[in-house]
Each structure stands twice: as C-alpha cells, then as structure tokens.
Structure 1
Amino acid sequence: MTGIDIIGAFESTYLPRHDRDIFESTAHDVQWKQDLQLLTECGVSRLRYPVRWHRVEADEGVFNWQDTDKVLHYLRDNGFRPIVDLVHHTSYPRWMAGGFADPRFRTAYLRYTVAFARRYPWVQEYTLFNEPFSTLFLTGHEAIWPPYHEGLDSFVRQILNVLPAVAEASRAYADLLPGAKHVWVDTCEHHTGEGAAGSAYATMANERRFLVLDSFLGKYDGKGYDPDGPMAELLRDAGGDKLQDLEPGRIDVLGLDYYAHCQWHFDDKGGSTHTPHPLPLAQQIYLYWDRYRFPCLLTETNIRGFTSDRATWFKYVLEQCERARHMGVPLDGLCWFPVIDSTDWASLLFRNDGHIDPVGVYWLDDELARQPSVMSESYAKAAAGTPSKDLPAFTLREPVATWLRGYKSQMSHWNWNEAPDTDQGNCLPNTQTRMELRIVNAE
C-alpha cells in the first residue's frame, strides 16, 4: 500500500474574451454527475473541485449559487471530500475588465470569498487562489492571458493587487471555516542553465519561483523576498520593496503542481522546456518542503500524449511521490489533473475552438463521450493501493519520447511493455508539436 491518496480534478478555466469556460466546452457542466460517477468507479473520493466565480457573480454584487449548490451538496451528501478551488486562473467575472490588475479586485474578491464561506460552512479543504505565481506571471509578465501586461514592473503590480486580498481572506477563513485547511497551490519548478547568460537566468528563475509564496508568508523576518537574493536589485527597481510590507497570510498545506514543462533549461539563445537535466521530482518536492515545512500534496500533473504515455508518466510521478515520503516529506496525495480531457490548452486558451487536450484519465471522443483507457486502469489500481512498482510502463511514443528524453535514466530500472494499439486517445499531438512560453527578459 502506498498510503498516498489518489485525487480527482476537473478543469474549469474561464476564457473572458470568449465568455466560455472548460466546464462548458467539455460538457462537464451538464454531465457532472456522470463524471463524478467515474471517480466513484475508480475508488476516488477526494477531489479538487472549482467554484466558477465568473458564473456565480455574472452581475456585479449579485450572487447566483444555484448550480454550485447542486454540485457541492451532491459532493457532501455522497461521501466526496472536495478541495474547493475558488479562483482557477482567469476565472474572474467578465465585468472585472482589468482582470487581476483591476482596482476592484480586492473588494470583489473578499465579498465573494466571505459569501462562499458563509454558505458552505462544512467545507474542510479549500484553495483560495489557484497557482498565483504562474497565473500572475502569464497575465502580468508574459502577456499570455488578459489583461496582457508584460515585464517585471507589471508582474509586481499585479502581485500587489492580488496577494493582500488573498492573505486577508486566508486570515478571515480561520474564523469563518475553523478547522478547515487552506491548500496553497502553485507550480513546482526547477531550472538549469549553461553559458554565462543561461546560467544567470536559471539562477534568477530559481529564486523567482518562490517570490509569491515568500511574499505571502513574509518568510524573511516579515519581509516579502530575500533582500540579498539574485532578484533583489531587479525587484527594487520594479517597486518590489512594497512586497516586504505585506501582512502575512496563512496556509495549512502546500500543494505542488508539477509538469515536465516546470523544468526549463536556459542557454545563451533562450529557454526550452525539454531540459536535458531534469531534477528527479522527489528531490524537487523535498526542496519545496524543506523551505516551507508544510504538509504537502502533489496537486496537479499530466502529460499530453497517448493514453499509454499518460499511464507511464503517472507511474513516474507516483514513484517519485513515494520516494519523497521516504525522504521524510509528509505528502499524502497525488492529483492527476484533470479526470477527463480538457480543451484549448494547445493555444494556452487564446482560442475557443473546443480543441481536445489529450491529458485526461478518461479521454473524450469527437462526441465528448468519456472513454476508458490503460490510464484509467492504472489510476484505479493506484487508488486501490497498488504501489508504483506494480503499475505498467509503456514504451513512450512521439512526441512524448522526445519531451521526456532527459528522464530516461530515472526510469531505467523499469520493465517496459509495448504500448497498446487501442484506446489511444483523441487530438493527439504530432511529432512537430511544441508548447512553450515566450520568455521576457526580467530586466
């Protein structure tokens, strides 16, 4: 028995420019009960589940909890244990035109989070703001998501607009939901570099990954970031001194989201997600735990590929979670995100064409019917307590084989099976597919 909870999840990110979310494009909004039944059949009762603020408060100051009531009451009454996710990426109301830079954010967010806690006082686990570092990096530094701001100055401004409100909500929840746990969820990163410029950027990025949580907790004697670290001068020039004055928030559990693209490699020409030197995930988890010393969850992982590729990556992540536990990390859960394929992540949610992302435990066919696979078989076995060593590893197909080339030495002790020709999945990436972010110079 692994002793590691297998956790479910459903993707729900809202695309403000299209007024549509992934619940709707995958039909989870109408098939949610059937999707939850899939979890039950796999033996999974704990799950990350979102509240869609953009639908709950479609009109400013007016809450409509009807759909949320149906699902959350069903979860409560049927033995599920939700980790309720209150803001998932750009899932804010459309009337908040400035997104996370909007001056109305604090007032609106606190109004919403307080109303939620008073309506659902039985909730035991919650995430107040999913992936604040990566979300605000994409909205405020890389101009990938609205409001499409760019550079360190705007990144800092958005952190300063959002983080105090999240910290205030975390303190309020200690009274509103006493005994419930705040699960802080963000990316679990590690970066490597070569050459003078690449090594310098990797050093900076390895410091930057902690910026938001350090600021939230006031880690450095009440200051928001390491005043002697490699980002200190850059942050001072960008107005980051104000991060040192934030009143700390509170968390109970550190949730780590890990994908192969969480490890970048930089050289003098730029950066790539296909790092040739990936740090084993167990060591990466340990680094985060050793820094913060909170109980941990692996709150997201997946790989874009055939269902057999997903099963193999699941085996790797579960094995690494087991190893992290043996290293002393109090880690009790692993979440494959999501249970069913999501949509439109191939364009990083820029387009709204319903393009299926081949990442789910169950894959979606052209009619959005949920299909089982070797991935769902491994997922159910792990939920029943099967350790990673007894889960199958399948020969990796392209392009995943190339993406994970650096991981081969970490998998060399496995017995490999030929990948099956059946239940391969839908909208599979071709060998030319690349999914990468533009890197904006931190200066």
Structure 2
Amino acid sequence: MTACRFRSFALGGFEGSTHRRRDRRRVDTIASSAHDLHARRDYALMREMGIATTREALRWHLIEREEGRFDWSSALPIVHAARDAGVEVIWDICHWGVPEGLDVMSPEFPGRVARLARAAVRMLRAEGAPVGGWVPVNEMSFWAWAGGDMGHFEPWLEGRGYDLKRQLFRAHLAVIEELRRAGAREPVVVAEPLINVVPEVGDPESARLAHGHNEGSFEVVDWLLAEDRDSVDVVGFNHYPHNQWVWGGPQIWLDDGRFRRLAGLLADAHARFGRPLMLAETGAEEPRGDAWMAYVAEEVGRALAAGVPVEGICVYPIMDYAGWDNDRHVPCGPIRRDAVQGRHLRPGQVAAIRAVNALREGRRDARAA
C-alpha cells in the first residue's frame, strides 16, 4: 500500500449511514439528502471551495439484494458525478449497513464484505473513476459499542461489543486481502473515534472505567497493526465537539481545564501508531461550525509544525442531513440544503475550509526548509 497523498488537504464527506435502527427501520442518509440525485451540483460546490477529495459510502443493502449479484445503479450517479468533476473518492465499503438477511456475526460476514470490495474495484476501474482510498469498515469501535454493547442498531446485541469488534476486525483484514488480489494500491484508511474521557475527581473506579474507554477507542487499530503492519496506511480519526466528556457525566468544552487540545491528541496518536494521520470526520452543527473549524485548523497547524504527519481534514458531513433517529434537519458543514433540496454555501464555513487548504502550503514550506 502506498503513502497517502490526497488531491486536497480539505476533504468533504457526505453522510452515508445505512444501518437499521433498534426499531428495524433502515437509515439511508444519501437518499434523505438526495445526494445521489444532486451529486453533480454537490461536487460543483465542493470544487468551488477548493475541495477535490471526498468520502462516500457504498449502500450495500441496495447493491447486493441477492447474494453474489451486484447492482451498481445506486452508486453510479455518484461515481459518474465525481469522475466528471475531477473529484477522487475515498470509498467506505461497509458503512454499518448490511443486506437484508445477512447476520453480521456469522462466519460468512468477513468474506461477504471482501467480495463487495473486489466487485467495487472492478466497477470503479471500468467506469474510469479516480479512487483516493478505501475504508473497509467504517468506525469499528463505535459500531461495536452501538450495535454490540447497547443494541442501538444492527446486530442489536448487548454486552457483546468485544465480540462484534473482533468480527469487524476480521472483516477489515478480509477486505485488505481482496484489495491486494485486485491490485488496488490506494491508501487504506481507518476511521475511528478520537476521544478524551475523564474521570470524576477522587473516584478510582471512574478513573479505571474512563481509562478503559479511552484505550478501547484505539484497540482495533492496535490489533490491525499487530496482525499486519500494512493493513492500515492512514489512521483516520473522527473528532467532534462532543468527543470529550466526564465518565458517566456531562460533555466538557474548550474552556474546561480537563479539555485536551486536538494537537496534543494527534501527537499522542502518532507516537502510538507511527502512521500518517488524518481527521476522517470533523465538524459541528450550526451555529458552531465556523468556530469549530477555525479551532481545528489552528490545532492541526500546530500539530504539523510539531512534525505530526496529518494528511488531511475531512469536513463530515459536508452538507445538512436528516438525523438518524428522528429525521430532523441537521444543519452542518458548508453546504446548506433548503426545503426543496436546493444547495447553498455558508460563507463562514467556506472561509474555514479555505484556511484548512492553506495548511497544505504551510506543510510543503516546512518540508522544503
């Protein structure tokens, strides 16, 4: 696998969740945002902001309705729009959603994901679509918690997060094997949560649990690198304002002394994994988006100045979407959707993204010095 060099330092990510909720209702955020219908407009707005790399998800439940038969009609409008706009795509092979009737915990699950990956490589080559990278299984640690410990979504287990995480780990490795067989050399990215859980003061049990939760967020990357050092090219982190909290208590904010600055979190992660990093997801719901992205740009700039190899910052979601649980309109990112699916840019977010892209020039200057 090659080192990661994306076409733009600022990346855009379109919300692509397709899991089934506790009530068994399927979430399809691509359909609810009509991104598949308006992809050309969406990419034109991205290019206007200077973004040339995006994250997208394959909707597996639509692609493989019958085992072994791949129908790409749900993906092709996005594939063609990206290709024609000169946008490279980092593809999520499995973004939590699986075909009807497939048990995530079954022995055949890793092989099924791997076959989807192999078929995707063939399709994208046939369509002449530029690939920026691959995320075999999106946010394995979060899926293990939500679907394995809490029963929030498929496979609706409780108290079996470790077992689900091991299964997702096996699926990632199976995808890597198929990508290699297919001759795919684009970077493999993991997208895992970057968190900071702090204990209640003076509570040893809280300290133990908080430490365990923090370590658990890194666990699957540790496993992958121990099993196969080449199974991860870029360690991607999903980091939002709500990613720091007191164990069993409230969220902590930037003005709290227990809040850890992003530059320090990234430096620690690089020291641990020794791999290039990226922010695979970051952003904030309006009206905090401008301030959050300004903070992220500043912190990543500090990390780069300290020698931490950050390869990009993905604004995720880059466009308003419908909430998973209640379909509410969630305003976020630089692209605002109106009630009739019109698209408009938020000027403050656009300025923040241009500041993010400027970090690439600073990084080049530092390497040349």
TM-score (norm 1): 0.72
Task: Indicate the residue corresponding to 1:123 in structure 2.
Answer: 131
Q: 2:313 aligns with which of 334, 346, 361?
A: 334
Letter matched to residue 322 of structure 2: T
Task: Indicate the residue corresponding to 2:45 in structure 1.
Answer: 38
Task: Indicate the residue corresponding to 2:342 in structure 1.
Answer: 369
Give me the whole-angstrom Cα distance separating, in 1, the residues matched to 2:319 and 2:217. Answer: 29
Q: Is 1:166–1:249's contact at 8 Å kept on the other side of the alignment?
A: no
Cα offset for 1:140? 0.3
Cα offset for 1:215? 1.7
Residues 374-431 of structure 1 deviation map (CA, whole Å, 9 limit, x = unaligned): 33332453266279xxxxxxxxxxxxxxxxxxxxxxxxxxxxxxxxxxxxxxxxxxxx
Give me the whole-angstrom Cα distance separating, in 2, the residues matched to 1:329 and 1:4. Answer: 18
Structure-to-structure mapping, 1:28-427, within 5 angstroms: 28-88=35-95, 90-96=96-102, 98=103, 100-121=104-125, 123-151=131-159, 154-193=160-199, 194=201, 195-218=203-226, 250-266=231-247, 270-274=248-252, 276=256, 277-306=258-287, 309-344=288-323, 349-351=324-326, 354-382=327-355, 385=358
Cα offset for 1:66? 2.5
Cα offset for 1:126? 1.2
Cα offset for 1:32? 1.3
Task: Indicate the residue corresponding to 1:14 in structure 2.
Answer: 18
| DSSP 3-state at the match of 1:181 | coil
| DSSP 3-state at the match of 1:184 | strand
Task: Indicate the residue corresponding to 2:366 in structure 1.
Answer: none
Residues 118-139 of structure 1 deviation map (CA, whole Å, 9 limit, x = unaligned): 3224534111111111112110
Q: Is 2:224–2:232's contact at 8 Å kept on the other side of the alignment?
A: no
Residues 90-127 of structure 1 deviation map (CA, whole Å, 9 limit, x = unaligned): 2221232x3x3244412321221121123224534111
Q: Is 1:124–1:179's contact at 8 Å kept on the other side of the alignment?
A: no
Q: 1:10 to 1:179 in 2, by over 3 A?
A: same
Aligned Cα root-mean-square deviation (Å) = 2.4
Give me the whole-angstrom Cα distance separating, in 1, the residues matched to 2:183 and 2:97. Answer: 23
Q: Is 2:195–2:239's contact at 8 Å kept on the other side of the alignment?
A: yes
Q: 1:272 to 1:148 in 2, by over 3 A?
A: farther
Q: Is 1:22–1:342's contact at 8 Å kept on the other side of the alignment?
A: yes
Question: After the TM superposition, which of the residue ranges 184-193 and 319-328 deviates more from structure 2?
Answer: 184-193
Q: Is 2:19–2:98's contact at 8 Å kept on the other side of the alignment?
A: no
Task: Give the gaps of 5 or more residues in structure 2.
Answer: 1-6, 361-369
User: How many pairs align?
Assistant: 343
Q: 1:272 to 1:384 in 2, by over 3 A?
A: closer
Question: After the TM superposition, which of the residue ranges 39-48 and 103-112 deviates more from structure 2?
Answer: 103-112
Letter matched to residue 370 of structure 1: R
Residues 7-31 of structure 1 deviation map (CA, whole Å, 9 limit, x = unaligned): 1110011143323400111111211
* Sequence identity percentage: 25
Cα offset for 1:292? 0.6
**Structure 1 segments of 4+ aligned residues over 6 angstroms from their partners:** none
Give me the whole-angstrom Cα distance separating, in 2, the residues matched to 1:273 and 1:289. Answer: 25
Cα offset for 1:313? 0.5
| DSSP 3-state at the match of 2:188 | strand
Task: Give the gaps of 5 or more residues in structure 1.
Answer: 223-246, 388-443
Give me the whole-angstrom Cα distance separating, in 1, the residues matched to 2:212 and 2:195. Answer: 12
Give me the whole-angstrom Cα distance separating, in 2, the residues matched to 1:167 and 1:77. Answer: 32
Cα offset for 1:4? 7.4
Letter matched to residue 350 of structure 1: D
